[in-house]
């Protein structure tokens, strides 16, 4: 057996994957609970969720791993995230499931229309939707139009969210994915994106809206970093 085949066999081992998922989920929970986080600007999003009003929760992919703790949902509240069909995406999805989220797996065989219908179905059922605006493949901090399309078709309110932490590990991924370290200090920030989305926006209007939500995400993420005295990590600056 070649080394490549051996790696593939190990990567596809259900027991190993389950063990890794459990280890990561336990670690992220431990890192959060042993650190001191200040949570600011989240009151309106929390109020929406508390009264059963689903929201669209938007982050940069780099900060996605802490999403279950950024979304402060009361018991019984639902939130769903889209996950990539790639191995890393499946791993991330199962970690989110272990931390209380639902997932909708994306697939190259699944049309965008079918995927959007599933998302809208979940929103109608009262489930909030979480999305990394630049995921799953990037480029980093370049937003897609997906949150805008979902906001237009569902009427759900959109909140941009970010976390920052004094001590993190950065993975060698396209977005320099951040893994929090325990016994640290962090912040969680949130702001509603309130631009009106026309029922049938032109290409020019859609691009303006895309740039607007991209700027809003940059601003909230930079605000989180600034609160800890850290420089912006925006690769486009």
104: alpha, beta or left? (left if phi > 0; alpha if psi -120 to 50): beta
Model pLDDT, residue 16: 78
Question: Can you give the pLDDT at residue 159?
Answer: 98
The pLDDT assigned to 201 comes to 93
Q: Which residues of the chain have pLDDT under 50?
A: 1-7, 9-10
Element (H, E) at 121: helix 112-124
pLDDT at 8: 52
No. of helices (H) and no. of strands (E), the chain: 8, 9
Cβ atoms of 214 and 142 within 8 Å: the answer is yes
- Looking at residue 107, its pLDDT comes to 62
Phi-psi region of 121 (alpha: psi -120 to 50; beta: other; left: phi over 0): alpha
Determine the Cα–Cα distance for residues 2 and 129; give it in Å rounded to an integer: 42
């Amino acid at each position: 057996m070649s080394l490549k085949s051996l790696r593939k066999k190990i990567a596809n081992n259900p027991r190993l994957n389950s063990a890794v998922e459990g280890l990561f989920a336990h670690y992220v929970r431990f890192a959060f609970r042993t650190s001191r986080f200040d949570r600011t600007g989240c009151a309106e999003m929390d109020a929406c969720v508390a009264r059963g009003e689903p929201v669209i929760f938007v982050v940069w992919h780099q900060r996605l791993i802490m999403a279950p703790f950024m979304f402060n949902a009361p018991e019984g509240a639902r939130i769903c995230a889209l996950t990539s069909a790639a191995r890393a995406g499946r791993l991330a999805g199962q970690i989110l499931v272990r931390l209380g989220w639902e997932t909708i797996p994306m697939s190259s065989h699944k049309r965008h229309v079918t995927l959007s219908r599933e998302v809208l179905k979940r929103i109608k059922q009262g489930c909030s939707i979480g999305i990394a605006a630049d995921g799953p493949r990037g480029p980093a901090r370049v937003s897609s139009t997906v949150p805008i399309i979902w906001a237009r078709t569902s009427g759900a309110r959109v909140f941009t969210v970010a976390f920052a932490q004094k001590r993190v590990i950065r993975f060698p991924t396209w977005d320099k994915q951040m893994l929090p370290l325990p016994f640290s200090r962090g912040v969680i920030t949130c702001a509603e994106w309130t631009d009106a989305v026309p029922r049938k926006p032109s290409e020019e209007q859609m691009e303006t809206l895309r740039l607007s939500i991209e700027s809003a995400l940059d601003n909230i993420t930079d605000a989180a970093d600034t609160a800890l005295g850290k420089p912006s990590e925006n690769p486009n600056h």
